[in-house]
Amino acid sequence: MSRKIKCLYRNLGSSDVKLVEGIFFHGIHDGFVFSDFAKDKTFTISPETHKVVTSEEILNIPFSMQKPTHWESTLREDYEFGFSIIKNEIDHNHINKAILSRRKVKNQKVNVNDLFLKLCENYTTSHIFLIETPDRDLWIGATPETLLQKKNEGYETMSLAGTKESHDVNWTEKEFTEQRIVTNAILGELFKFNINPDVGDLETVKAGPVYHLRNKIKFKTKESALTIANALHPTPAISGNPKKQAISTIKIAENHEREFYCGFGGMVKDGEIENLFVNLRCASVSSNQICLYVGGGITKDSELSKEWEECERKATSLLRFL
Domain assignment of residue 150, yes or no = yes
Distance in angstroms between the alpha carbons of the first and the last residue of the chain? 36
| Residues 227-277 pLDDT 10s | 999 999 998 889 999 999 999 999 999 999 999 999 999 999 988 898 999
35: in domain: yes
Residue 13's pLDDT band, with cuts at 50, 70 and 90, is confident
pLDDT of residue 67: 86
* Residue 293 included in any domain: no
pLDDT at 18: 98
Q: Which of the pair, 201 or 168, is modelled with greater confidence?
A: 201
* 248 within some domain: no
Number of domains in the chain: 1
pLDDT in tens, 130-162: 999 999 899 999 999 999 999 888 999 999 988
Distances (CA, A) of 319 to 64, 148, 264, 287, 308: 21, 28, 22, 17, 16
* In the predicted structure, residue 168 carries a pLDDT above the cut 70: no
What percent of the chain clears pLDDT 70, i.e. is strictly above it? 99
Ramachandran bin of 37, using left for φ above 0, alpha for ψ from -120 to 50, beta for the remaining angles: alpha
Residue 78 domain-assigned (yes or no): no
- Residues making up the chain, counted from first to last: 322
Q: Give the number of other CB atoms < 10 A from CB of residue 105.
A: 17
Among 288, 318, 113, smallest CA distance to 209 is for 318
Tell me what pLDDT residue 236 has: 87
Report the alpha-carbon angle 64-141-44, nearest 5: 60
Mean pLDDT computed over every residue of the chain: 93
1: pLDDT strictly greater than 70: no
At residue 167, the pLDDT reads 63
- Residues 121, 127, 132, 137, CA torsion sign: negative
Residue 66: DSSP 8-state: B
Summarize pLDDT for 72-117 with one digit per residue, the tens. 999 999 999 999 999 999 999 999 999 999 999 999 999 999 999 9
pLDDT at 237: 87
Domain of residue 60: give its range. 4-66+106-238+258-286+313-319
Report if residue 178 sits inside a domain: yes
CATH for 15: 3.60.120.10
DSSP β-bridge partners for residue 264: 35, 278
Q: Are 72 and 292 spatial neighbours (Cβ–Cβ below 8 Å)?
A: no
